[in-house]
Structure 1
Amino acid sequence: MKFGKYLEERKSRLPEGWADKCIDYTKLKLFLKTTVYLHSVKLDPTQMTWDSKDQPSFAQLLSERLAKLQISEAEFINMLDAEVLKSSNFFIEECVRLVAEHDKIVAVRVADGTSTNSASTAEKTAQLLQDVVTLERFVFLNYTGIIKILKKSDRHSGLSISDPYLFRVSSLPLVRAEKLSVLKQSLMNEFNYQNLHPNNVFRPSATPTPLSARRSPFSPTLLPASTFPPTTLLPNQKVLVSLSGPHGTDIIGAVLSCVAQHNCDIEDFMFSRLYHNVTFGVLITFKFQNVAIFQDLAAQARKWDATLTFDVPDMQATEPGTKAQLTSNGQIYLPSSLDEAPYENRVKYTATVLNQNGLTPGFLFEWTQLLLANRISVEKMARLNEGMISCADYKLSMPRDVDMEKLREKLFDLSRSHGTDVALQLNDVFRKNKRLVVFDMDSTLIQQEVIDEIAKYAGVVGEVAKITEAAMNGEIDFKESLRRRVGLLRGTSVDVLQTVKANLTFMEGARFLCRALKKIGFKLAVISGGFMPLALHVKYELGLDYAFANQLKVSSDGLTLTGETVGPIVDGQRKAELLEVIAQAEGVTLDQVIAVGDGANDLWMLAKAGLGIAFNAKPRVQQQARARINQKSLKHVLYMLGYTDEDMKQLHDE
């Protein structure tokens, strides 16, 4: 809700007559809108042309605005001063009244020596404590109103008066609330003592001193270690504090020193850095609503040349179009963390964007527009590579009604038009805990198609290449294409397999990727529609754990190929079945499996795996796959898992 409505709603909860003693936020806001804003020095740059003859010069316009702003802003400050003094004077009156009430209770108890567990004593103590808490709420409500109206003034006038004004206000009893703090501490001590020692008789100090002299009437030796009242009597007000500036760890320490000094609870915190500039935000809960903490925070901000902001989370959005709410017992409802605060109850995804030649502004702009069009919000961005930015991880939150199929189609068009890959994955525990990678072999782990290489020596390369192309594009059934191609190899010497094996060229990054994955505990497999002797060679060279492929039949004398295969054909469906078998053997879920391939016969295993990557694949395969890599090196698979260049260096060095 807007702060004005929030303030009015909270004022309605105060005792009768107290609302009129609060600052009139609505009146101050209206004055700003009708007077101060009209003379703002935040000029519209689109109207500031150099040689316009129809308007005054820039210097003249600025001079005129400053003159009017000086008058209107001074009037605003006078109005604000009057409102602050109204609230502060009422606070002083209430403090005097509450202290006097407590002194009467103490005087009666000292004179009569009544037991601490009498019904009237307990009731009066509890009621007085509740009155103190109510007055604290009055203080905090008004102080928050002062902050809010000053922020509005700064934002729209172009001036920065919040910090000096708040420092000026910090000397008022309304902010320091010293007597109220002493009274509350004393009442909490008495409240706890009465509950923990119900049979004891009240024994004051030898010379009891009234509270107005700032001492508790109890001997310190009688006080229990814990001096907090029931949670129903505590304010439980949450405040989001943020400090931004050029000193990283010092800024963290500055905020936490104030939070510790004022005995606040820390609900959550966040830290971000851009070169030497950092922002540290902390969500705190007040146990005692002594707003002197803001004076101390302001002093720390000046000390470290930092910018201080804070807000009450009742005005923080939990999702576009919604706001934080109060629970039935008056507690402020908040998301589980500051990360979740803006976009709770959405589906979380990770998007990895990758272009080895660099992410262009044009792509990044269109990518962002696509997110906006689908109401997808960016929660975090992190670059993964060193040097010119070419790979970044986005943490996204999506509305649950996003049509994922249509979104993937748009992502494919965007990727194709910019030559930039976008891999979208659920941002869950399985994204970070993949355990098995299954590779296709031809044009994935190696740069050749082995059947085409064999065909060169058999003299049928042209015929085989045509069938291979048709199969890769999904134009003919893989089993049929394999039968036709193998049939063309009839009579070829088996020695050709050794020749092909010796001339295999591994894909760029294949050796590094496999070594790196093995070092971090992955199991690796190759499942190929090619042939077993070559798949075993690849397994040995890359240190894989499994190899499956088709087995060529040889003549009875072992010298030539017969043009046939032996055993089940490893087609697309068979690849998916083998992937599942390996996963079961290794005790991992399919969500923990990565599949990498380039052909139409890889689509089944790409769909079966938790992350299916089309590597430099045919257009039809790319369109159906959930992730694509169209870069030269297989090492980019590690980016899809969130690994950075620094991580890769460590894996290489070890």
Structure 2
Amino acid sequence: MKFGKYLRGRKENFPIEWREYSIDYDSLKLYIKTDIIPNTLKLNLSQMTWKPTDSNELHFIDLVSSRLSTLQVKTTEFLVKLDSEIQKVSNFFVKESNSLIKKGEEQNVDTLSENEASKMLESIITLEKFVFLSYTGLVKILKKHDKHSGLNIGEAYLYRIASLTLTKSDSLLILKKSLMKKVVQDFSPIASTTIINNGTKLENNSTAISSSKRSSTSLGTTTLPTLLSKIPQSTTSPTNTKKDSFPPLDLLPHQKVLVSITGPHGTDIIGCVLECMANHDCEIEDFMLSRLYHDVTFGVLITLRSNDIDLFKDLAEASRKWDGTLSFDVHDDNRTHYTFPIEDAPYENRIKYTATVLNQKGLSPQFLNDWTKFLLKEKISIEKMQRLNEGKLSCVDYKLSIPNNIEFERLRQELFALSTSHSTDVALQLYDVFRKHKRLVVFDMDSTLIQQEVIDEIARHAGVVKEVAGITELAMNGEIDFKESLRRRVALLKGTPVEVLQTIKENLIFTDGAHFLCKALKKIGFKLAVISGGFIPLARHVKNELGLDYAFANQLKVSSDGLTFTGETVGPIVDAERKAELLEVIAQAENVTLDQVIAVGDGANDLLMLAKAGLGIAFNAKPRVQEKARARINQKSLRYVLYLLGYTDEDSKQLFDS
């Protein structure tokens, strides 16, 4: 909502006769539009070309000089108008506060009834809210002027008005505290066990008060009698009462302000902001820090519990001391702002996801541009970006906020097309506790942990490599049933000497990063398994070589003399269904949920296993497998799996070297 419309709407909540004393935000905004913007120093860069001094066209220096001269007049006029508006608000506040103070002196707070004290306290709070609304308008209009003029006078102006009574009235604050004390005394909580009207017991009335406060969305929009009426009443006389059992300031309107300072002195800036918070009556709700080399931005979301604007004066002084740029955003209506951590995009009905983008050759500007445009088109907000790799930028982790009504199947297909067109992997996962708390990894073996297809290697020794490779390709692409393809291929191996397995073991080529990944994962307690459609002697060799915990594969039948293969298998066939079943069995045995399981494979017979796992990764997989898998890695090394878990290169080195 535009602030002008918001301000007009909020003014409707106050007495009609007060409205003319509110800051005239709309006329000030109009002046900026008609008189400041046309003369802005924020020049149109596309028109800034070098012109010789003897050119007939307007020279850059002349243009700046002309606009500075005009702005000198126009900004002066703007400040005169603004001074007039602020003086108007300040005079109104002084008049109304003096009236309330005089009334308090005449009536004597101690003799007021509970109802009279509550009404007077409401009047004070309403006045403060009215003036604070104008103060918010002042902040907004100064920001708008600085933005459009190219000048930076807002901070100095706010510092200047800190001495106005507008920002603080000690006498009114004293009256307010007296009234609050009076109301609290007349409505003192009951510490002992009492019986409430409905007959239920209340062990500690402070709990009821706390619950009552939580049930209100904003104390700033709840009248005091309404709030107090929610505190349960006793039908018996109070015993062992405690007059000051909760601080009166807890019942004041809570103003939330987002303060940020940007500058080159990181720890000093954090320290000066927190020192100001400690010296004033405010509560820190949240904070965050972002750094770009030496420059940092430190943001703090605070709740004011008094109307002492000296806080902002102190912040301005601290900001200047440390060469910082101060900004803050004041909200009068706290019901719809800052219900999320301040580092999150403040939208409701969203799901948090993480996207890991990866290209070992480097992330190109063209991909990053297309990727960002894709997110904009889908109304997906970027909440955080973290580089994971060292050296040339090749891997970035994104925290995303995605509308929960998005069509995920369509999104997945479009994301796959974008990923493929740039040869850059994009892995989308739920941003939840299981992302970095996986506990089991299940690998396919052939073309995943090792670079060969072992049945093709056996076939090479048997002289039937072309026939077997053709059947293998059909199976990997899902064109024929795996069990049938295995039966056909194994039949071609009949009579092959068993000793060829030893030769193949000695010549196995492990995929780049396989040893690194397995060693790193074992260091943090992962259980690792290989489930292969190949053969158990080689799966056990891979298990021993990589330090895995489990190995499952098919068993070739051997002749009675133990010298040759018979062309048959023994036991259940490890096909797609069997792989998925074994994954679940291992997970149960290790007492981990499927959300904590990673599966890595490349063939069609891995798809069910990939789908069963919390994170299924198609590693340099066939096109059909990549299209259906939820995550893909088309890079050379298996160590890139660690990126999908959110680990940086530095994290990975620590795991491998420790």
By the TM > 0.5 criterion, same fold? yes
Looking at structure 1, the residues matched to 384 and 189 of structure 2 have their Cα atoms a distance apart, in angstroms, of 53
Looking at structure 1, the residues matched to 282 and 179 of structure 2 have their Cα atoms a distance apart, in angstroms, of 19
Q: Does 1:177 align with 2:179?
A: no
Is the 2:189–2:245 contact (alpha carbons within 8 Å) kept by the matching residues of 1? no
Looking at structure 1, the residues matched to 307 and 392 of structure 2 have their Cα atoms a distance apart, in angstroms, of 49
* TM value normalised by structure 2: 0.88
Question: What pairs with 1:372-387 in structure 2 (closer than 5 Å)?
Answer: 372-387=376-391
Q: Does 1:24 align with 2:28?
A: no
> Equivalent residue for 1:575?
579
CA drift of 1:65 comes to 1.6
Looking at structure 2, the residues matched to 230 and 56 of structure 1 have their Cα atoms a distance apart, in angstroms, of 61
Q: Does 1:493 align with 2:485?
A: no
Q: Does 1:474 align with 2:478?
A: yes
2:172 partner amino acid: L
Looking at structure 1, the residues matched to 269 and 324 of structure 2 have their Cα atoms a distance apart, in angstroms, of 8
Partner-residue secondary structure (3-state), 1:305: coil
> Equivalent residue for 1:68?
70
Q: Does 1:281 align with 2:299?
A: yes
Is the 2:576–2:606 contact (alpha carbons within 8 Å) kept by the matching residues of 1? yes
Which residue, 544, 560, 571 being the options, matches 1:540?
Answer: 544
Q: Does 1:126 align with 2:144?
A: no
Instruction: Map Cα deviations across residues 217-264 of structure 1 (whole Å, 9 max, x no partner).
Output: xxxxx9847541662xx1122222222111222222222222232222
> Equivalent residue for 2:311?
293
Is the 2:441–2:529 contact (alpha carbons within 8 Å) kept by the matching residues of 1? yes
Q: Percent identity?
A: 64
> Equivalent residue for 1:317?
none
Alpha-carbon distance change, 401 to 509 in structure 1, aligned in 2, over 3 angstroms: same
Which residue, 633, 638, 644 being the options, matches 1:640?
Answer: 644
Is the 2:136–2:331 contact (alpha carbons within 8 Å) kept by the matching residues of 1? no
Which residue, 539, 550, 557 being the options, matches 2:554?
Answer: 550
Partner-residue secondary structure (3-state), 1:365: helix
Looking at structure 2, the residues matched to 36 and 502 of structure 1 have their Cα atoms a distance apart, in angstroms, of 79
Instruction: Map Cα deviations across residues 576-596 of structure 1 (whole Å, 9 max, x no partner).
Output: 111122122222222211110
> Equivalent residue for 1:432?
436
Which residue, 347, 350, 363 being the options, matches 1:343?
Answer: 347
> Equivalent residue for 1:236?
254
CA drift of 1:82 comes to 0.8
Q: Does 1:12 align with 2:16?
A: no
Alpha-carbon distance change, 544 to 42 in structure 1, aligned in 2, over 3 angstroms: same
Partner-residue secondary structure (3-state), 1:429: coil
Alpha-carbon distance change, 8 to 491 in structure 1, aligned in 2, over 3 angstroms: same
Looking at structure 1, the residues matched to 97 and 500 of structure 2 have their Cα atoms a distance apart, in angstroms, of 99
Is the 1:41–1:65 contact (alpha carbons within 8 Å) kept by the matching residues of 2? yes
Is the 1:235–1:289 contact (alpha carbons within 8 Å) kept by the matching residues of 2? no
Partner-residue secondary structure (3-state), 2:503: helix
CA drift of 1:134 comes to 2.0
2:519 partner amino acid: R
CA drift of 1:138 comes to 2.5
> Equivalent residue for 2:40?
40
Which residue, 240, 243, 247 being the options, matches 2:265?
Answer: 247
CA drift of 1:51 comes to 4.1
Runs of 4+ off more than 6 Å = none
Which residue, 376, 388, 398 being the options, matches 1:394?
Answer: 398
Partner-residue secondary structure (3-state), 2:163: coil
Which residue, 119, 139, 142 being the options, matches 1:147?
Answer: 139
1:604 partner amino acid: L
Q: Does 1:104 align with 2:106?
A: yes
Looking at structure 2, the residues matched to 597 and 307 of structure 1 have their Cα atoms a distance apart, in angstroms, of 52
2:348 partner amino acid: E
CA drift of 1:196 comes to 4.5
Which residue, 143, 150, 160 being the options, matches 1:158?
Answer: 150
Looking at structure 2, the residues matched to 449 and 245 of structure 1 have their Cα atoms a distance apart, in angstroms, of 57
1:500 partner amino acid: I
Is the 2:249–2:305 contact (alpha carbons within 8 Å) kept by the matching residues of 1? no
- Number of aligned residue pairs: 605
2:91 partner amino acid: N
Unaligned segments of structure 2, at least 5 residues? 191-241
Looking at structure 2, the residues matched to 313 and 529 of structure 1 have their Cα atoms a distance apart, in angstroms, of 62
CA drift of 1:313 comes to 4.1
Looking at structure 2, the residues matched to 478 and 224 of structure 1 have their Cα atoms a distance apart, in angstroms, of 77
> Equivalent residue for 1:304?
322
Q: Does 1:606 align with 2:594?
A: no
2:20 partner amino acid: D
Question: What pairs with 1:352-391 in structure 2 (closer than 5 Å)?
Answer: 352-391=356-395
Looking at structure 2, the residues matched to 583 and 575 of structure 1 have their Cα atoms a distance apart, in angstroms, of 12
Looking at structure 2, the residues matched to 101 and 139 of structure 1 have their Cα atoms a distance apart, in angstroms, of 20
Alpha-carbon distance change, 577 to 226 in structure 1, aligned in 2, over 3 angstroms: closer
Partner-residue secondary structure (3-state), 2:99: helix
Q: Does 1:458 align with 2:450?
A: no
Instruction: Map Cα deviations across residues 257-298 of structure 1 (whole Å, 9 max, x no partner).
Output: 222322222222222111111112222222222322222221
2:62 partner amino acid: Q
Looking at structure 2, the residues matched to 346 and 557 of structure 1 have their Cα atoms a distance apart, in angstroms, of 66
CA drift of 1:424 comes to 0.9
Is the 1:191–1:229 contact (alpha carbons within 8 Å) kept by the matching residues of 2? no
Looking at structure 2, the residues matched to 261 and 122 of structure 1 have their Cα atoms a distance apart, in angstroms, of 33
Looking at structure 2, the residues matched to 69 and 447 of structure 1 have their Cα atoms a distance apart, in angstroms, of 71
Is the 2:36–2:71 contact (alpha carbons within 8 Å) kept by the matching residues of 1? yes
264-273 or 352-361, which moves further after superposition? 264-273
Q: Does 1:49 align with 2:41?
A: no
Instruction: Map Cα deviations across residues 498-557 of structure 1 (whole Å, 9 max, x no partner).
Output: 111122121111112111111212111111010011111111111111111000000011
Q: Does 1:508 align with 2:512?
A: yes
1:132 partner amino acid: I
CA drift of 1:177 comes to 2.8
Which residue, 587, 590, 593 being the options, matches 2:594?
Answer: 590
Looking at structure 2, the residues matched to 157 and 336 of structure 1 have their Cα atoms a distance apart, in angstroms, of 33
Instruction: Map Cα deviations across residues 428-450 of structure 1 (whole Å, 9 max, x no partner).
Output: 22222211111000111111111
> Equivalent residue for 2:218?
none
Alpha-carbon distance change, 22 to 409 in structure 1, aligned in 2, over 3 angstroms: same
Instruction: Map Cα deviations across residues 89-129 of structure 1 (whole Å, 9 max, x no partner).
Output: 122222322222222234xx8xxxxxx5x6x3433433332
CA drift of 1:333 comes to 5.5
* TM value normalised by structure 1: 0.88
Which residue, 79, 82, 91 being the options, matches 2:81?
Answer: 79
Looking at structure 2, the residues matched to 395 and 197 of structure 1 have their Cα atoms a distance apart, in angstroms, of 46
Is the 2:188–2:243 contact (alpha carbons within 8 Å) kept by the matching residues of 1? no
Is the 2:425–2:634 contact (alpha carbons within 8 Å) kept by the matching residues of 1? yes
> Equivalent residue for 2:286?
268
Partner-residue secondary structure (3-state), 2:497: coil
Unaligned segments of structure 1, at least 5 residues? 110-115, 199-221, 315-324
2:358 partner amino acid: L
2:248 partner amino acid: F
CA drift of 1:494 comes to 0.8
